[in-house]
Amino acid sequence: MSAKAVDKLSSQEAEKELDRLAKDIAGHDRRYHMDDAPSISDADYDALRRRNADIEARFPLLVRPDSPSHRVGSKASEKFAKVRHTVPMLSLDNAFSDEDVADFLGRVRRFLGRKDDEEIAVTAEPKIDGLSASLRYENGVLVRGATRGDGQEGEDITANLKTISGIPLRLKGKPPAILEVRGEVFMTHKAFAALNKRQEKDGKPVYANPRNSAAGSVRQLDPGITASRELNFFAYTWGEISALPADTQSGMLEKFADYGFPVNPLTRRCESLGQMLKFYADISAKRAKLGYDIDGVVYKVDRLDLQERLGFVSRSSRWATAHKFPAEQAETVLEDIEIQVGRTGKLAPVARLAPVTVGGVVVRNATLHNEDEIARLDARIGDHVVIQRAGDVIPQIVRVLTDKRPRNAKPYKFPQTCPVCGSHAVREVDEKTGKQDVDRRCTGGLVCDAQTVERLRYFVGRDQFDIEGLGGTMIQLFHDEGLLKEPADIFALTEKPGKVSKILAAHRAALSEERRSAEGKDPVKTKKKEDREDKVVENMMAAIETRRKIGLDRLINALGIRHVGETTARLIARHYRTIDAFLAGMEGDNAREELESLEGIGGVVAEAICDFFGEKHNVKALGRLLQWLDVTPMAAPAKTSPVSGKTVVFTGTLEKMTRQEAKARAEMLGAKVSGSVSAKTDIVVAGPGAGSKLKDAQKHNVTVMDEDAWLKLIS
Q: What residues does 417 pair with on adjacent strands?
A: 424
- Sheet of strand 91-95, all strands in order from the earlier edge strand to the far edge: 91-95, 316-324, 294-301, 122-128, 268-270
Is 485 part of the annotated catalytic residue set? no
Q: Cα-flanking dihedrals φ and ψ of residue 353, to 5°?
A: -115, 155
Q: What is the dihedral of CA 618, 621, 626, 627, to 10 degrees?
A: 150
Those residues whose C-beta lies under 8 Å from the C-beta of residue 38, and which sit 6 or more positions away, are 28, 31, 32, 45, 212, 361
DSSP codes of every residue in 547-601: TTEEEHHHHHHHT--TT--HHHHHHHHHHH-SHHHHHHHHHSTTHHHHHHTSTT-
Note whether 496 and 483 are within 8 A (CB): yes
Strand stretches in 368-410, DSSP E: 384-388, 396-400
Task: Say which of 75, 127, 646, 663 is annotated catalytic.
Answer: 127
CB neighbours of residue 638 within 10 Å: 9
Q: Is 11 exposed, middle or buried (0-12, 13-18, 19+ CB in 10 A)?
A: middle
Let me know how many helices (H) and strands (E) the chain has, helices first.
25, 24
Residues 6+ apart with CB under 8 A from 280: 101, 124, 297, 323
Half-sphere exposure of 95 (CA within 13 A, CB side): 25
CB-based contact 711:676 (threshold 8 Å): no
C-alpha angle 452-453-458 in degrees, rounded to nearest 5: 100
| Contact residues for 692 (Cβ-Cβ < 8 A; gap 6+) | none
Give the catalytic positions in this structure.
127
